[in-house]
């Protein structure tokens, strides 16, 4: 099912050049602290004005300065001259049989990205994208077929959540946020960090840090930095138990191998009662043997973690296959017998291409 929204056509190449050359500063990309400084230094305006603008952008979700009715007309005019409100336009909403919704959104430059809203019992989890494409190049991931076209601006990351709020309507809210859509979040570190600061701000959406998870393929130097900068949850796509296997799947394992990655995970500053999520994509006949399961129990020994097994989601042209469900269960039992908490994540929204590793920014044939 697909509902087309009455939205302006996407920017063509002329518009694209114009937008990319737009010298005005993007206010939606600024966390509140930075916005306050900018108001003071650039406009000579007090901090509370910046707070007002921040709340217009992130709580009331307005998309133009003219809607900010508690600012003087003069200030609104001045803002229009020197600043812009970055973000995305909503192109399409697709609804899967299981209630999962996929939002197709366009950047001002005309690139398409995706975000997915997944109902889980009475809660809503949103999976957001951090880049257009990805340069890590994992062999099993559809996003990797697309070269890295662009890092998303903080405003474009935050706007995925603001649009999701718009689509689900008042009275409901996004309960959990996972940075598991298109792209490698830690390869776009500063914009991802700015988005986290904005999304958790008490004068914005005020999402709890406990409810946000950043997933990485293992960009080791940025793992420690994230832990020092903000207390969100960390998920790591381990996906293999030997370096030979892992390098074949995730090329950056050549730079940061399993041992280096595990050391970074052990050093990650976990708040009390929190655990690292270890993701493990299960590929039939490649990394799903019971020996792999045993090796995994040894690798993770002593790490405060939970394991998330993700049976592979196939896409056209993929060489890997999903293991049989009873085989996945046997793998899980080995881990459980060693006292690990294990969940098997059968992805939702497969019929609309919204499952893990199925995001490529392309509108699907209806």
Q: What is the DSSP letter of 271?
A: P
Please identify which residue in 207, 281, 352, 354 interacts with ligand SAH, judged by CB under 6 A: 281
The residue with tokens 């708040």 is 271
Is residue 226 at the binding interface for ligand SAH, with CB under 6 A as the rule? no
Residue with smaller CB distance to ligand SAH, 207 or 214: 214
CA distance 351 to 329: 24
Stretch 2-61 residues interacting with ligand SF4 (CB under 6 A): none
73-91 in b/e form (b: 16+ CB < 10 A) is eebeebbeeebbbbbbbbb
Minimal CA–CA distance to 83: which of 50, 47, 132, 48? 50
Please identify which residue in 134, 162, 240, 332 interacts with ligand SF4, judged by CB under 6 A: 134
Q: What count of other Cβ atoms lies within 10 Å of the Cβ of residue 66?
A: 13
The residue with tokens 């949850």 is 233
Is residue 356 at the binding interface for ligand SAH, with CB under 6 A as the rule? yes
Per the annotation, the verdict on 138 as an active-site residue is: no
Stretch that binds ligand SF4, among 110-118, 141-149, 157-165, 297-305 (CB under 6 A): 141-149
Residue with smaller CB distance to ligand SF4, 183 or 361: 183
Stretch that binds ligand SF4, among 79-87, 131-139, 194-202, 301-309 (CB under 6 A): 131-139
240-252 in b/e form (b: 16+ CB < 10 A) is bbeeebbbebbbb
Stretch that binds ligand SF4, among 30-38, 66-74, 132-140, 155-163 (CB under 6 A): 132-140
CB of residue 156 vs ligand SF4: minimum separation in angstroms? 16
Per the annotation, the verdict on 356 as an active-site residue is: yes
Is residue 361 at the binding interface for ligand SF4, with CB under 6 A as the rule? no
Angstrom CA distances, 299 to 161, 217, 262, 335, 362, stand at 35, 17, 8, 11, 37
**Sign of dihedral through CA atoms 360, 231, 186, 245?**
negative
Q: What does the per-residue mask of binding to ligand SAH show for 287-326, with x meaning CB under 6 A?
A: -----------------------x-xx-------------
Stretch 210-239 residues interacting with ligand SF4 (CB under 6 A): 217, 237
CA distance 90 to 104: 6
Binding site for ligand SAH (CB under 6 A): 140-141, 180, 184, 215-217, 237, 239, 279, 281, 310, 312-313, 356-357
Active-site annotation, residues: 114, 356
Binding site for ligand SF4 (CB under 6 A): 134, 136-138, 141, 143-144, 183-184, 217, 237
């Amino acid at each position: 099912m697909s509902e087309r929204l009455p939205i302006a056509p996407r920017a063509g190449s002329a518009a694209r050049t114009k937008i990319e050359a737009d010298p005005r500063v993007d206010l939606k990309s600024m966390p509140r602290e930075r916005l306050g400084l900018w108001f003071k230094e650039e406009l000579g305006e007090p901090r509370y004005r910046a707070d007002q603008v921040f709340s217009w952008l992130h709580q009331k979700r307005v998309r133009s300065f003219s809607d900010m009715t508690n600012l003087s007309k003069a200030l609104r005019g001045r803002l229009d001259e020197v600043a812009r409100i970055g973000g995305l336009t909503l192109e399409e909403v697709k609804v899967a049989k299981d209630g999962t919704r996929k939002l197709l959104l366009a950047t001002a430059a005309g690139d398409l990205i995706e975000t997915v809203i997944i109902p889980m019992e009475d809660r809503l989890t949103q999976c957001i994208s951090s880049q257009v494409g990805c340069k890590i190049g994992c062999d099993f991931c559809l996003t990797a077929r697309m070269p890295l076209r662009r890092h998303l601006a903080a405003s474009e990351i935050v706007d995925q959540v603001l649009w999701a709020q718009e689509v689900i309507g008042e009275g409901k809210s996004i309960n959990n946020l996972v940075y598991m859509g298109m792209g490698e979040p830690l390869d776009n570190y500063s914009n991802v960090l700015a988005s986290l600061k904005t999304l958790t701000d008490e004068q914005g959406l005020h999402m709890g840090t406990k409810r946000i998870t950043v997933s990485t393929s293992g960009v080791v130097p940025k793992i420690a930095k994230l832990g020092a900068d903000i207390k969100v949850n960390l998920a790591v796509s381990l996906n293999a138990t030997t370096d030979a296997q892992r390098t074949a799947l995730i090329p950056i394992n050549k730079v940061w191998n399993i041992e280096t990655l595990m050391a970074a995970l052990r050093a990650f500053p976990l708040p009390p009662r929190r655990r690292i999520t270890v993701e493990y994509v299960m590929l039939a006949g490649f990394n799903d043997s019971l020996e792999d399961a045993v090796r995994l129990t040894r690798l993770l020994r002593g790490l405060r973690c939970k394991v998330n097994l993700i049976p592979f989601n196939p896409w056209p042209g993929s060489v890997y296959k999903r293991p049989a469900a009873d085989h996945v269960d046997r793998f899980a039992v080995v881990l459980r017998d060693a006292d690990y908490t294990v969940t098997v994540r059968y992805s939702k929204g497969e019929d609309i291409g919204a499952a893990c590793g199925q995001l490529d920014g392309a509108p699907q044939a209806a």
